[in-house]
Chains A and B, each alone.
Chain A
Amino acid sequence: MNQEEVSIIEITEIKAKNPIILCGLPDVGLVGVIAVSHIIKSLNMKEVAYIDSDLFPPIMVFHNGTPTYPLRIYQKEDIFAIFSESALSPESIYPLARSIVSWAKEKNTSLLISLGGIGTPNRIDIDVPKVYSASNMPSVREIIKKYEIPIMEEGFMVGPYALIAKYSIHKNLPNLLLLAEAFPNYPDPGAAASIINVLNKIISLNVDVKPLLEKSEEIRLSARELMKRTVESLKKMGKSQEYEVPLMYV
């Protein structure tokens, strides 16, 4: 493996027709990770690939006594889910985003959906977080308009999803960003539930969020370490720039 390279290694033969990919990488409030983890369990998705790189921390996860790669891809029919149990180092996100977008293009993906959060200072007073959206494709923007999902009109985005959005433009791959209002520094299952509810509408995912909300406190407790490491990593990526105002048109 080239030192700079990120590899997606398929562990089974993958067949899918114009799949939809859900991307749950560690970001604000671990929204994508929590949402994708719940989707994988609810739909009983099967592991079909893992992602590896010398730029990742030297970590393996043990599940039921079996060592497992922290970054994995799951599949159920024409839906894939990318999921990470480990925080991403700033150095790894460029080749990782490039690999994800190239792999998605190779699979003739109809839509790559990045699931994340927007740090919201008054989140404590929000009972049901809103979900904002953005896409590089007019056809996808029509879908989000149809379902009345507010569009993120202006602002910066920093981190792995920013790079996935960037490389999706380059590869002409339809990318949709779904970002829920979230606690910036705490795991936020409520925000993850809001994202799943949007997915239920736009791609008929049919995943019940009730079990997720019922286990919300336990999830917040068990995700603390991943959240802490993710916050440290996001700081190094310059995540605070998301709270700044872009200059254009001022």
Chain B
Amino acid sequence: MEFWMDESIWNYEYGKLEPLYEIYESNGEIIIRIDLPCVQDKSDIQVNVTEYSVNIEAKIGRIIQYERWGTFQRSIRFCKYSKTIRLPVRIDPKSAKARFKNGILEIHLTKKEQLHTIPIE
């Protein structure tokens, strides 16, 4: 659905919420942290990684229901988070590691590009 609030981080038709996330580079790694409040266990999260993107689907522990959602004034339920993040560089999917702590999912990805040290003349 094309909606005028193109910056919205929810999709009421599919009951999906887009999680807040941050992405940065540290020590040759790409680190992504995703805020997943109300996700109860790591078994409720699925992470799929390609060389160029990370996709996260996570089940919200209990159904979030708003009886009068915004100006719609109608009942809306959210039951999962969904987000695909395009990566700024190519990564090695096999090296990906993740941990889930206090409702935050942290993913470490190793960059595929190799660094070549050059001599200074």
Contacts and interface: CB of A to CB of B under 8 A. Distances in A.
Interface string A212-233: 0000111011001101100000
Contacts, number: 41
Contacts of A186: 20, 35, 104
Nearest to A232: B7
Contacts of B33: 124
Contacts of B28: none
Given A124-B106, A217-B103, A224 B38 contact: no
B62 to A, nearest CB: 10
Interface in A135-178: none
A124 B20 CA distance: 15
Interface in A177-194: 183-187
Contacts of A185: 20-22, 35
B60 to A, nearest CB: 8
A47 B35 CA distance: 32
A123 to B, nearest CB: 8
Given A183-B35, A186-B104, A224 B22 contact: no
A124 B101 contact: yes
A228 to B, nearest CB: 6
A221 B20 contact: no
B87 to A, nearest CB: 18
Interface residues of A, number: 16
From DSSP, what is the main secondary structure of chain A's interface residues? helix
Contact of B104 (A124, A224, A227, A228): A124
Given A186-B35, A228-B20, A124 B9 contact: no
B20 A227 contact: yes
Interface in B20-51: 20-22, 33, 35, 37-38
B64 interface: yes
Given A217-B37, A218-B37, A224 B9 contact: yes
Given A184-B22, A220-B103, A228-B20, 4 more contacts: A125-B101, A186-B104, A187-B35, A221-B37
Interface of B: 7, 9, 17, 19-22, 33, 35, 37-38, 64, 101-104, 106
27 contacts: A124-B33, A124-B101, A124-B102, A124-B104, A183-B35, A183-B104, A184-B22, A185-B22, A185-B35, A186-B35, A217-B37, A217-B103, A218-B37, A220-B35, A220-B37, A220-B38, A220-B103, A221-B17, A221-B37, A221-B64, A224-B9, A224-B20, A224-B35, A225-B9, A227-B20, A228-B7, A228-B9
